[in-house]
A and B are shown apart, each in its own frame.
Chain A
Amino acid sequence: MNKNFDIAALVDDLEPVNPMQQKIPLVFLAAITFMATALVIWAQGMRADVLAGHPDEMFLIRAGVLLLLGSATGYAVTSMASPAVGRSQNGWQVALAAAAVFPLAAIVVASTGDVGPAISAMESGMRCMSYSLIAATATAVPMVVWLRKGAPSSPGRAGWLTGIASGGLGAFAYNLHCPFNNVVYIGLWYSLSILICAIIGRLVVPRLIRW
């Protein structure tokens, strides 16, 4: 071993540490998602059917899938801060596969010529994306902070998953306002916002969490 390397120096430097507890970032993630959702409702208002207590089935499915995607992926991201060979979190893959049903269904329906309001309501779609991206940025913060504190051994994947998780939760926040139930609209605009978040996550997050 290198003569200049002194194990005693590391021992002298030892201070007690609290082992990282995954529930901490998850609580922050839930709290920020809740706040983002509240802000969207405050700024844009809540869907009329939800307010009336009779939510549309498509809304319920969409909200459930987005929440599942954000939660499962967020859990996988925060797990990555404490790496271990042989231990992997694959729940996010199932959630992502479930979410992929929306764009696939949108393609099938659009191929019949019925695009619904997906294109005509572009202004609303852009607003959907903008709010989702802002909310996603907020939800990404606790995940990135946690990853920086930990020892993620796969920064690239951590970047993708952070983007997907924050995109899913950000879209969930806006989904409480979004009045559209059309599958092509959902498949286009929601998928686009999550995809953009995933790409941004892949490009930005690895630089922030390398150690």
Chain B
Amino acid sequence: MIAREETMRDLMRLAQAGDKQAYAVLLEQTGRWLARFFSQKIAADAVDDLVQETLISLHRKRASYDPSRPFLPWLAAIARYRWVDRLRQTYRHAADELQDQHSEDSHEDVVGAKISIDNLLHKLPPAQALAIRLVKIDGLSIAEACIKCGQSEPLVKVNIHRGLKKLATLIESE
């Protein structure tokens, strides 16, 4: 079942008022929504961790949700912040060899399409978006990405670095 904006907004309002039952339903629905949101935006085996981190952020920052506004754009902003943060972490540590696994589920609902992470990637220069997609989402090593996209190793690294930096600044400017 796909959660609807109105339903989630109502659940979040109740959660802010301390309704634990509504909160449990909200977290479950949000977890599913986030799993779809992150699918194909990060290596499949990293999706669960990212969903959990985002749920914890939702919990910690729930007061920042304005109940007079839509819920999903707020959730998406938090999800994208956590996503970029995760990409930066994995890039910084340079120890990730993510598996090339793809989810078959690529459904995007209307809201999801509007606030999709793909929209962000499309705003990057093609070379930067390709480098991020190959290494950070498809899970290729730098060397494999070089072969696939025809860029040199330093160029792939620079494109990832610059692309991630630009992604962070794009988060609120879309």
Contacts and interface: CB of A to CB of B under 8 A. Distances in A.
B63 A20 contact: yes
B16 interface: yes
Contacts of A10: 23, 27, 55-56, 59
B64 A153 contact: no
A86 B15 contact: no
Most buried by B among A5, A12, A18, A19: A19
Contact of B52 (A1, A13, A15, A151): A1
Which DSSP category, helix, strand, loop or mixed, fits chain A's interface?
loop
| Interface bin, chain B | 35 or more
Most-contacted residue by chain B among A15, A84, A149 (CB, 10 A): A84
A120 interface: no
A153 B174 CA distance: 12
Contacts of B52: 1-2, 5
Interface string B84-104: 000000000000000000000
A150 to B, nearest CB: 4
B56 A151 contact: no
A169 B134 CA distance: 46
Contacts of A81: 64
Contacts of B65: 19, 82
Given A5-B52, A16-B16, A16-B17, A150 B64 contact: yes
Contacts of B15: 14
B23 to A, nearest CB: 5
Contacts of B59: 10, 13-14
Given A7-B24, A151-B57, 5 more contacts: A10-B59, A84-B74, A87-B69, A88-B174, A151-B61
Interface of A: 1-2, 5, 7-8, 10-20, 80-88, 149-151, 153-154, 156-157, 211
Interface of B: 15-18, 20, 23-24, 27-28, 31, 48-49, 51-52, 55-57, 59-67, 69-70, 73-74, 76-78, 80-81, 114-115, 168-169, 171-174
